[in-house]
Amino acid sequence: MRLHRNLVFTVIDSMKLIFNEGEYADKVVEKALKRDKRWGARDRKFVAETIYDMVRWKRLYNEIAGTKSHYTTENVWKNFAVLAVLKGYKLPDWNQLQGVPERRIKGKFDELQKERVFKESIPDWMDELGVKELGVEKWTKEISALNEQAEVILRVNTLKTTKLALQKKLEDEGIETEPIRGYEYALKLKERANVFTTEAFKLGFFEVQDASSQLVAEYLDVKPGMKVIDTCAGAGGKSLHLAALMENKGQLISTDIYESKLKKLKIRARRNGVHNITTKVIDSLKVMKKMKSTADRVLIDAPCSGIGVLKRNPDSKWKLQPEFVDNIIKTQAEILEEYSQLVKVGGKMVYATCSILPSENEKQVQLFLNSHPEFQLEKQNKVSAYKSGYDGFYMALLERIS
C-alpha cells in the first residue's frame, strides 16, 4: 500500500494530541476523520486504524525504535516508521522516513515476542495485576484479544424500527451490516464507516454499542410498566436499551453524579423516541434515600478499571494507574452497598462492569452477598474478551428475597 502524506500527517498530529495533550483516543480519531471530507472509506480506515495501532502498540514500538516514552515529533515519526515496516508499507521518499533501519526493526520485533509486556505492549503493573487476578494462561489470552481492533457494532432501536428494516435502510445508504448470532439486537458493520452521518442514525434507528455491552440491559429482566433505576447511567447507553425493552412503558430513572453526562443522555433519548426516562443528578444523599426499597429493577453499571474495553480505548493502557484500580474497587463496594437499598423485596438488581478482573466482579459480588443475606445470586456472566470476540464484561443478577 502507498502511504499518503496528508493521511500520515493527520496520524502524527493525532498522536501528539493523545500523548502530549492528554486527549482521549476515540475523540481524537473522531476529530481526525472530520479533517478532510474528500477522504474515502479506505482513507478513513487507514487514519482510524493507524491512530489506534500507534496508541495500542506504543510500548512495543518505543522499545523497537528506542524512543522510550519521549513523544517529540521526531520520536512519533520513528514509531510510525516501525509501524510502517511491520505492516509492510512501501516507505515513501520523505525526509522524516530517511534511513529507516528496516531489518533491525523486524529483528527487534521478533526478539521482543518472547516477553509478554512487549509482545502485548502493556505496562508492567498491568501485566502483574492481570496474572495475579486471572492466572498466566487466561490473562495471556485475554490481553491478546484485547489488543485486537474493535469492530463497529450497532444496537437496533426497537422503539423505532426492526433489525431487518435497519439493515435495509443502511444498505440503501451504502453501509453493509450483518447480524451476530446470540445477540438479538446487534448488527455488525462489514467495513468501518461513519455511521453518525447516516439518516438512519439521525432518525434514532440505532446506537453504536458493543455486543457484550448489549447483554447487560437484557440481563436485568425488565418488563413494560416496571419502575427501573439505572444508577450509574452516564450518557445512557444502557438506559436507552432498557427503555426499548420496557417498550417505553413504566418509569425509568437514570441517575449519575455528573449532570453533563445526563444532558447527553437526554439528547440521545429524544433522538431514540424514548419517553419514559427521567434523569436525576446525585448531588446529595437525599436523592437516593427517597427512592429506598421502591424499585422493581436496579442497574448498577459501576465505574471500573475498563480493562475489558482496552480494544476500544487502547490509551487506557497508558492512562490508567494501579492506584486508580485500588480506589475504584472501594468505590464499587460503596456503590453496591448504597444503591442495593433501592431494590424492593422481590425486586432484582444487576451489578455490571466492563472489567475482566475478579476483584471488580465476582469477588465484589461475593463480598456483598456475605453481608447481605436479603439478596441471593440468580446468575452471573463473566464475558471473556477472547471467548466472545467482543469486549470483556461482567454482569450478575441478584434478587432481593427479604
Q: Which residues are annotated as a binding site for S-adenosyl-L-methionine?
A: 256, 283, 301
Q: Per rule CB under 6 A, is residue 271 in the interface with ligand SAM?
A: no
Q: Which of 258, 275, 321, 337 binds ligand SAM (CB under 6 A)?
A: 258
Provide the CA 78 distance to its chain's centre, in angstroms.
29
3 state DSSP class of 77: helix
Q: Per rule CB under 6 A, is residue 392 in the interface with ligand SAM?
A: no
Task: Give which of 117, 120, 186, 110 is closest to 386, Cα–Cα.
Answer: 120
For residues 298 and 398, what is the distance between their CA atoms, to the nearest angstrom?
10
Mark whether 232 is an active-site residue. no
Q: Per rule CB under 6 A, is residue 232 in the interface with ligand SAM?
A: yes
For residues 50 and 47, what is the distance between their CA atoms, to the nearest angstrom?
5
For residues 114 and 109, what is the distance between their CA atoms, to the nearest angstrom?
10
Please report, as residue ranges, which positions from 288 to 307 form the binding site for ligand SAM (by CB under 6 A). Answer: 301, 303
Shortest approach of ligand SAM to residue 208 CB, angstroms? 11
Nearest CB to ligand SAM, comparing residues 8 and 349? 349
Shortest approach of ligand SAM to residue 22 CB, angstroms? 19
Nearest CB to ligand SAM, comparing residues 18 and 240? 240
For residues 280 and 237, what is the distance between their CA atoms, to the nearest angstrom?
16
Shortest approach of ligand SAM to residue 238 CB, angstroms? 4
* Residue 265: partners with Cβ closer than 8 Å, 6 or more residues away: 233, 234, 235, 236, 239, 240, 254, 256, 277, 279
The identity of residue 267, as a single letter, is I
Please report, as residue ranges, which positions from 317 to 356 form the binding site for ligand SAM (by CB under 6 A). Answer: 335
Nearest CB to ligand SAM, comparing residues 233 and 385? 233
Question: Which position among 25, 229, 274, 354 bears the catalytic label?
Answer: 354
Q: Taking the CB of residue 71, how many other CB atoms lie within 10 A of it?
A: 17
Q: Per rule CB under 6 A, is residue 231 in the interface with ligand SAM?
A: yes
Nearest CB to ligand SAM, comparing residues 93 and 334? 334
Q: Which of 130, 204, 234, 314 binds ligand SAM (CB under 6 A)?
A: 234
Q: Per rule CB under 6 A, is residue 237 in the interface with ligand SAM?
A: yes
Q: Taking the CB of residue 5, how many other CB atoms lie within 10 A of it?
A: 9
Q: Per rule CB under 6 A, is residue 282 in the interface with ligand SAM?
A: yes
At residue 345, φ and ψ (nearest 5 deg) are -60, 130
Q: How far, in Å, are 147, 161, 220 from residue 244 at the CA level?
A: 32, 11, 13
Q: How many residues bind ligand SAM (CB under 6 A)?
A: 16
Q: Where does residue 364 rank: exposed (0-12), middle (13-18), buried (19+ CB within 10 A)?
A: buried
Nearest CB to ligand SAM, comparing residues 216 and 226? 216
Nearest CB to ligand SAM, comparing residues 237 and 314? 237
Shortest approach of ligand SAM to residue 400 CB, angstroms? 20
Q: Per rule CB under 6 A, is residue 235 in the interface with ligand SAM?
A: yes
Sign, CA dihedral 11-16-17-23, equals positive
Q: Which of 41, 91, 208, 257 binds ligand SAM (CB under 6 A)?
A: 257
Residues that are catalytic? 354
* Binding positions for ligand SAM, rule: CB under 6 A: 231-238, 256-258, 261, 282, 301, 303, 335
